[in-house]
Structure 1
Amino acid sequence: MIRRLMILGYFIMGGACSRKRDQQVEDILNRGVSGKYSKSSSSKWLATSLSRSGSDVKRRNGERPSLLELCVRKIHEDIDRYTTFSDLPRDISQQIFDELVYSQRLNLKSLEAFRDCAIHDLNLGEYPGVNDEWMDVISSQSTSLLSVDFSGSDITDSGLVSLRGCKNLESLNFNFCDQISNRGLEHLSGLSNLTSLSFRRNGAITAQGMRAFSGLVNMKKLDLEKCPGIHGGLVHLRDLTKLESLNIKWCNCITDADMEPISELKNLRSLQICCSRITDYGISYLKGLNKLNLLNLEGCRHVTAACLDTLTGLMFLNLNRCNFSDSGCEKFSGECYLASSQLKVMALLCGKLCGFNQFKDLKLGNEQHYKFMLGLTKLESLNLDSCRIGDEGLVHLSGMLGLKSLELSDTEVGSHGLRHLSGLSNLESINLSFTVVTDSGLRKLSGLTSLRTLNLDARHVTDAGLSALTSLTGLTHLDLFGARITDSGTNYLRNLKKLESLEICGGGLTDAGVKNIKDLSSLTLLNLSQNSNLTDKTLELISGLTGLVSLNVSNSRVSNSGLRHLKPLKNLRSLTLESCKVSANDIRKLQATDLPNLVNFRPE
């Protein structure tokens, strides 16, 4: 009967959705988490910790489940009654498997029912109990198996032997699998269809073991982040001519010598080599990689502005904590002036002006001269976090008109230098946290109407500075975490109707200030922690923000009696009320009766 219902539901739904491929989310210029950025349970973690299936969210929002979903749910509840799903359509078996994994009902016994089901994807990342005993059923998917995530499992070298018959595997994830060594890599050498392979934080892989990668000629993405023994092993990647993304972040063994074989990877588009021992000389090997558009050099302290002489076509560049100062910023502009007569000669010699980008013209004497920008003219994202730059360095960014994201956190940039950014009309995101920017400087940003994300986590910013932001009506994310904002300042936020994320944690707010926030109906994240004068009235005021997914009112006077005002917030998934007169038991009761989507709360 169950099988008939499943088949009927399958055809009513038109079949389950096919898996979407090539949806790679690149870790673009990830800042990581530093001591200075610990924000008292701020919701920065939400992107990875609040995942949930789309069908489940729909059901919880009141939509009637489909017949197929009802069948999957019924099987999930009675999973111990079934011995095999091999006669069901593949997509249905996949949905049952995914539901069991999500609910953590899958174990070695129930896994047996999926033997020979020809499933495509097995997402077992961080799933408890996965070890070599699971591999027999996993490998029974044979040539149908396309993707497996084993991250955080207890799989060993012996377990990888079973994967030899899964010849069509395209993606394998072994992050944090510390029981896999060089010997295990040998069993993967024949999987020539692999396009994505990840071994983050593995101390047992060495240059010798990386020989197994040399035959994986279809590889497009390789992740060896925090693998400290791979020095000398990149030579085995020479023949991986299709490789587009290489992550060797936090491998402090990497030196200039390792960069030479990378120079042959002509299709490389993304390279991350944070916290390594490379110098400007090592970067020079990248000169011929014309497709490279993302380069992450965070924490490479021997890299200086001289590296910019090598780099031309980049769109994303991270120089966070590199040896970079104002004196090197002129390399960003790379300006040169040519007279019209010189241009004619160059056009005859070259046929075109390769590498030049006309910026503006001027007249010197009787002849028209043209100003050109060389080098990083395509740059869209630039990270100068924690570099030794100030206002003088920003003058060289004024011509980077394509810039969309600029990271200046923890620099000596002040209000005077912001005038050089006023013409960057395409700028969508700027981080000025831990700078010396003051209220007067914010007026220079008032014309940047493309801004969507603005971080002003700086003690020099006050209510007066917010008055300059009223024209930025397109803002969706505003971080005023440490700014000295009071009730008066929140008046300037009332017209920022598109705000989805707002953090005001400087301690100056009372319930009166929250009145100006209560109508920002697009908010999904609200952090008002550290404002010790907020009371239960605040929870009452924000009870109409039904789109909230994350709420933090820690270190306030909120009490247990105020929790009733949160009942309308049915989308709430994270609630933080630390150092309030609220106990974990109080929140659990609210979760059980009114907030079924709440998956994370503090105190807990």
Structure 2
Amino acid sequence: MGGACSRKRDPLANEDTSNRVGPSGRYTKSSSSKWLGTSFSRAYMDAMQGKRNRPSLINLCIYKIREDINKYSTFSMLPRDISQQIFDDLVYSHCLTDSVLEAFRDCALQDLNLGEYPGFDDSWMDIVSSQGSSLLSVDLSGSEVTDSGLIYLKECKNIQSLNFNYCDLISDKGLEQISGLSNLNTLSFKRNNAITAQGLSFLSGLISLIKLDLERCPKIQGGLVHLKGLEKLESLNLNCCNCITDADMKALSGLTNLKSLQIASSKVTDNGVTFLRGLSKLALLNMEGCPVTAACLESLSALDALLYLNLSRCNLTDDKCEKFSKLLSLKVLNLGFNEISSAILVHLKGLTKLESLNLDSCKINDEGMVHLAGLSCLKYLELSDTEVGSSGLRHLSGLLNLESLNLSFTIVTDGGLKKLSGLSSLKSLNLDARQITDAGLAALTNLTGLMHLDLFGARITDSGTNCLRSFKKLLSLEICGGGLTDEGVKNIKDLTSLTLLNLSQNNHLTDKSLELISGLTQLVSLNVSNSRVTNNGLQHLKSLKNLKSLTLESCKLNADDMKKFQSTHLPNLVSFRPE
């Protein structure tokens, strides 16, 4: 469905991606847009380009110091907040080297956010250690630090947060080195193949630990028993640890302060879920892909504080799903990719506090939609790849708090979209479906608050783009059905709030389209792949100084010209294709 160029979105993010991407850009662990950040140097660049917001004097000073960085042998005489800002700016701008790092010895820095910084290894750990008792937070994710390097952290007794995600050279011995950091409250070791159950025994003394992330650590089976004494633990991420079993859940049963537990893609069954009944403070439970059935709902109904529940990709069928009616406190429910049908929806009628419901790829049709009509608190509704059609949409007309609706890969037609015209709170709408045409878009012009509109596979033509003039607040727009020419882009050029624009697959677009959108100076991401754009058209993009992602694959231009244009005119561009 949706044509060869359509694509499905991830049904629900299972993991925190906020600390995945560092400054290096050497590799990307996630498609998250959180890499679209700012820096102190950016404030200076804005000033040079005549931006309204002028940088402060301190930012200008920091920029000057960075330019003359090799003239300084030490920053230890500066106030800590100044040296901290200088350090952060050097990290962001990739200007931190061995010799420059030495200037920060004994500066009493509090935060060293060096995630994925190229070249970071044990030789830099001596400078890290020199910050002493002032050091509170260290991010070394994706680095080459080994067990030996962690010895240096013993001198930093006040550390509260450590991030060693994707550090392949750290093993159980490394955990032993940090076992004495009793003030540690956040610890993360995502994607580690060397840590075992024995290694977790060294965490038993970290009595201040509040958040622990062991996602994709495949050798920790049986080690959770060592966490029994961590009575302050509130968040535990064990996603994609396929070694975790029911016995491990028994070991967690005494952690009564747990508020968030993620065990997606583990081997936990209905029996294991019974051990969670005593976790009365549990608010988030992610069991996506676990081999549980609807029978586990009996145990889950005892969790009175439960607000977020993810049962996507489990073995749920309609059998025993009446137990959903007992989960009265739920705000977020994800049932995507299960063998449940419209019959289950009758058991959701009592979840009047529900704000988010994901039914992606379930066997839901128009018949069951009537049971959603009373969920007046719903803000987010995911119906992608279901059998919902135009008739079922009439039951959504009263959901006046609805902010996000995904109807991609459904059988909704243009006529059904008229039933959404009264949803004035709607901010995000996904209509990635080939049967949606210009007529359907015309039925939505009352939704003037829309900020995100996805028409990826819809058959929108130049005529239909006239309707886009109603959506002045749009931040993101995707029209990739192949029906646009330069004439249609004329109706997009005045959407000045756009930060993301995807016009790929429209093979009639030419350099003229790039000229038309050259005034969209807020654009951060632009995709005009599979068009007739040439090297000459790149010149029209010089004004897009905010652009960080540019994709022009299968166009009439080459990688060398792209690289030259990027380095000369768009220095803030992080990702570009071809490259």
Q: What's the TM-score, normalizing by structure 1?
A: 0.82
Letter of the structure 2 residue corresponding to residue 51 of structure 1 = G
Q: 1:124 aligns with which of 114, 119, 126?
A: 114
Letter of the structure 2 residue corresponding to residue 184 of structure 1 = G
The separation in 1 between residues aligned to 2:426 and 2:127, in whole angstroms, is 51
> Which residue of structure 2 aligns with residue 480 of structure 1?
455
Q: 2:557 aligns with which of 566, 569, 582?
A: 582
Q: Mapping of 1:291-302 within 5 angstroms? A: 291-302=281-292
The separation in 2 between residues aligned to 1:497 and 1:592, in whole angstroms, is 32
The separation in 2 between residues aligned to 1:268 and 1:375, in whole angstroms, is 26
The separation in 2 between residues aligned to 1:576 and 1:355, in whole angstroms, is 44
SS in 1 for 2:249: helix
SS in 1 for 2:100: helix
> Which residue of structure 2 aligns with residue 438 of structure 1?
413
Structure 1 position 539, deviation (Å)? 1.4
> Which residue of structure 2 aligns with residue 318 of structure 1?
310
The separation in 1 between residues aligned to 2:280 and 2:220, in whole angstroms, is 26
The separation in 1 between residues aligned to 2:298 and 2:377, in whole angstroms, is 17
Spell out, residue by residue over 1:431-463, the C-alpha distance to the aligned partner (whole angstroms, 9 max, x if none).
Answer: 222333333333333332222111222223222
Classify 1:355/1:294 alpha carbon distance in 2 versus 1 (closer, same or farther; 3 Å): closer
Classify 1:501/1:376 alpha carbon distance in 2 versus 1 (closer, same or farther; 3 Å): same
Q: Does residue 241 of structure 2 align to residue 266 of structure 1?
A: no
The separation in 1 between residues aligned to 2:541 and 2:347, in whole angstroms, is 58
The separation in 2 between residues aligned to 1:395 and 1:300, in whole angstroms, is 30
The separation in 1 between residues aligned to 2:347 and 2:409, in whole angstroms, is 34
Structure 1 position 429, deviation (Å)? 1.5
Q: Does residue 40 of structure 2 align to residue 50 of structure 1?
A: no
SS in 2 for 1:295: strand
> Which residue of structure 2 aligns with residue 534 of structure 1?
509
Spell out, residue by residue over 1:453-488, the C-alpha distance to the aligned partner (whole angstroms, 9 max, x if none).
Answer: 112222232222223322221111111112222223
Q: 2:97 aligns with which of 93, 99, 107?
A: 107
* 152-161 or 309-318: bigger deviation: 309-318
Preserved CA contact (<8 Å) 1:316 1:379:
no
> Which residue of structure 1 aligns with residue 173 of structure 2?
183
> Which residue of structure 2 aligns with residue 74 of structure 1?
64
Classify 1:443/1:263 alpha carbon distance in 2 versus 1 (closer, same or farther; 3 Å): farther
Q: 1:211 aligns with which of 184, 197, 201?
A: 201
The separation in 2 between residues aligned to 1:459 and 1:313, in whole angstroms, is 42
SS in 2 for 1:323: coil
Spell out, residue by residue over 1:399-456, the C-alpha distance to the aligned partner (whole angstroms, 9 max, x if none).
Answer: 3322222233333433333333333222211222233333333333333222211122
SS in 2 for 1:197: strand
> Which residue of structure 1 aligns with residue 395 of structure 2?
420
The separation in 1 between residues aligned to 2:330 and 2:78, in whole angstroms, is 60
Letter of the structure 2 residue corresponding to residue 62 of structure 1 = G
Q: Mapping of 1:106-255 within 5 angstroms? A: 106-255=96-245
Q: 2:540 aligns with which of 552, 556, 565?
A: 565
Structure 1 position 176, deviation (Å)? 0.5
Q: Does residue 529 of structure 2 align to residue 517 of structure 1?
A: no
Structure 1 position 392, deviation (Å)? 4.4
Spell out, residue by residue over 1:202-237, the C-alpha distance to the aligned partner (whole angstroms, 9 max, x if none).
Answer: 011122211122222222211111111122222222
SS in 2 for 1:92: helix
Classify 1:111/1:28 alpha carbon distance in 2 versus 1 (closer, same or farther; 3 Å): farther
Structure 1 position 586, deviation (Å)? 3.1
Preserved CA contact (<8 Å) 2:297 2:323:
no
Preserved CA contact (<8 Å) 2:321 2:347:
no
Classify 1:275/1:160 alpha carbon distance in 2 versus 1 (closer, same or farther; 3 Å): same
> Which residue of structure 2 aligns with residue 338 of structure 1?
none
Structure 1 position 582, deviation (Å)? 2.0
SS in 2 for 1:186: helix
Preserved CA contact (<8 Å) 1:334 1:373:
no
Q: What's the TM-score, normalizing by structure 2?
A: 0.85
Structure 1 position 505, deviation (Å)? 0.8
Letter of the structure 1 residue corresponding to residue 475 of structure 2 = E
Structure 1 position 117, deviation (Å)? 0.9
Preserved CA contact (<8 Å) 1:309 1:331:
no
* 169-178 or 205-214: bigger deviation: 205-214
Letter of the structure 2 residue corresponding to residue 321 of structure 1 = R
Classify 1:230/1:417 alpha carbon distance in 2 versus 1 (closer, same or farther; 3 Å): farther
The separation in 2 between residues aligned to 1:439 and 1:96, in whole angstroms, is 55
Classify 1:408/1:324 alpha carbon distance in 2 versus 1 (closer, same or farther; 3 Å): farther
Identity of aligned residues (%): 68
Q: 1:453 aligns with which of 422, 428, 446?
A: 428
SS in 1 for 2:560: helix
Classify 1:154/1:190 alpha carbon distance in 2 versus 1 (closer, same or farther; 3 Å): same
SS in 2 for 1:406: strand
The separation in 1 between residues aligned to 2:395 and 2:70, in whole angstroms, is 66
SS in 2 for 1:493: helix
Preserved CA contact (<8 Å) 2:349 2:372:
no
Preserved CA contact (<8 Å) 2:431 2:458:
yes
* 120-129 or 390-399: bigger deviation: 390-399
> Which residue of structure 2 aligns with residue 406 of structure 1?
381
The separation in 2 between residues aligned to 1:45 and 1:136, in whole angstroms, is 34
Letter of the structure 1 residue corresponding to residue 310 of structure 2 = N
Preserved CA contact (<8 Å) 1:315 1:381:
no
Preserved CA contact (<8 Å) 1:319 1:385:
no
Preserved CA contact (<8 Å) 1:124 1:151:
yes
Structure 1 position 125, deviation (Å)? 0.4
The separation in 2 between residues aligned to 1:402 and 1:268, in whole angstroms, is 27
Letter of the structure 1 residue corresponding to residue 522 of structure 2 = G
SS in 2 for 1:137: helix
The separation in 1 between residues aligned to 2:320 and 2:472, in whole angstroms, is 40
Structure 1 position 49, deviation (Å)? 3.2
The separation in 1 between residues aligned to 2:322 and 2:421, in whole angstroms, is 26
Q: Does residue 422 of structure 2 align to residue 470 of structure 1?
A: no
Letter of the structure 1 residue corresponding to residue 82 of structure 2 = I
Preserved CA contact (<8 Å) 1:414 1:438:
yes
Letter of the structure 2 residue corresponding to residue 441 of structure 1 = G
Classify 1:183/1:190 alpha carbon distance in 2 versus 1 (closer, same or farther; 3 Å): same
